[in-house]
Amino acid sequence: MLPVVDKPAIQYVVEEAVDAGLSDVLMITGRSKRSIEDHFDRAYELEEALNAKGDSERLAAIRESADLATMHYVRQGEPRGLGHAVHCARQHVGDEPFAVLLGDDMIDARDKLLHRMIEVRGQYGGSVVALMEVEPDQVSAYGCAAIEATGEDDVVRISDLVEKPAPEEAPSNWIIIGRYVCDPAVFDVLEKTPPGRGGEIQLTDALRTLADMPSENGGGVYGVKFRGRRYDTGNKLEYLRTVVQFAAERPDLAPEFIPWLREFVQAHDAADGVGGPGDA
Ligand code: G1P
């Protein structure tokens, strides 16, 4: 629920799903996440108060979050890992392919990653993960993929996956970012997946099993290489960068925000003695 300028990060993620044509959203939440449900619900008292004040701009903004998608909620109960969270969606999803979007990761609305992943699932079948190339010292924070080329520049076949490997055990520099399109076969696999890294049921481990399964049983895992803009709002420094970048691109804020930011940095540097002739 941390705001990025004036909307919670999670709303950008729901907007991304809706933009890719997925308007039925099941939110897997945990304890003390009731504010999420309230945010995507109608707020009648607030709407009435804004209406009475004639504040149509704010009224439109709060209605927008409630009208965005058909929202459903499931509570995970115990935090037993991402794989367990995904399994909580089984009854809602049934026997259809579905997308998983992790709430901490934001993908720039101009970079149509999820559209492309849905297209790749249509072409290749199986499951599809989003991959990004990182420096070798970063792989241990992510799921990491062993990849093989296909005829397409941005699509790879995945032959193996490792959750948070030590750098020397990483099969490549390509890591999974928080976007997946899963075949419903993942549910049966998750049921048999033992706890892995951190004692948690890992989606990465279930996908590893799927990568080895024949396509007629819902197997096969593909990767879409993403070279666009991703914002990790789960990381303090990246969160701050994201807010500044988004504010700097907003036509209603940028004309005042950017000169302020420039002055702020200059004053900060001057106070620190940075940027003076001695630092050249
Ligand atoms: C999860 C996944 C990991 C993936 C990452 C992307 O890890 O388990 O494979 O690379 O999300 O953000 P977490 O960040 O929840 O530890």
Tokens 């259809």 belong to residue: 96
Domain identity same for 67 and 84: no
- Per-residue pLDDT tens for 191-235? 999 999 999 999 999 999 999 999 999 999 999 999 999 999 999
Q: What phi, psi does 219 have (nearest 5°)?
A: -85, 180
Tell me whether residue 6 is in a domain.
Answer: yes
Domain identity same for 62 and 176: no
147 lines ligand 1 (CB under 6 A): no
Domain identity same for 151 and 230: yes
**Residue having the nearest C-alpha atom to atom 1 of ligand 1:** 142
- Per-residue pLDDT tens for 145-170? 999 999 999 999 999 999 999 999 99
Span from the CA of 253 to the centroid of ligand 1 (angstroms): 33
Domain identity same for 170 and 108: yes
Average pLDDT on 61-78 reads 88
Query: What's the rounded Cα separation, in Å, for the pair 180 and 20?
Result: 13
Tell me whether residue 276 is in a domain.
Answer: no
This model's pTM is above 0.85: yes
Q: Give the per-residue pLDDT at 47.
A: 87
Span from the CA of 132 to the centroid of ligand 1 (angstroms): 12
Q: Closest ligand 1 atom, CA of 198? A: 16
Tally of domains in the chain: 3
Confidence of residue 276 (pLDDT cuts 50, 70, 90): low
Domain identity same for 45 and 158: no
Nearest to 234 by CA among 102, 134, 131: 102
**Residue having the nearest C-alpha atom to atom 10 of ligand 1:** 142
**For residue 3, what is the enclosing H or E element?**
strand 3-4
Average pLDDT on 118-127 reads 98
Domain identity same for 28 and 38: yes
- Using left for φ > 0, alpha for ψ between -120 and 50, and beta otherwise, residue 2 falls in beta
Domain identity same for 106 and 160: yes
Q: Closest ligand 1 atom, CA of 177? A: 6
Tell me whether residue 279 is in a domain.
Answer: no
- Domain assignment of residue 99, given as a range: 80-234
Residue 277 has pLDDT above 80, yes or no: no
Q: Give the per-residue pLDDT at 62.
A: 81
Average pLDDT on 23-41 reads 87
- Domain containing residue 162: CATH number: 3.90.550.10
Least trusted range by pLDDT, from 31-35, 59-63, 195-199: 31-35
Query: What's the rounded Cα separation, in Å, for the pair 245 and 241?
Result: 6
**For residue 254, what is the enclosing H or E element?**
helix 254-272
Domain identity same for 2 and 105: no
Span from the CA of 189 to the centroid of ligand 1 (angstroms): 19
176 lines ligand 1 (CB under 6 A): yes
Tell me whether residue 278 is in a domain.
Answer: no
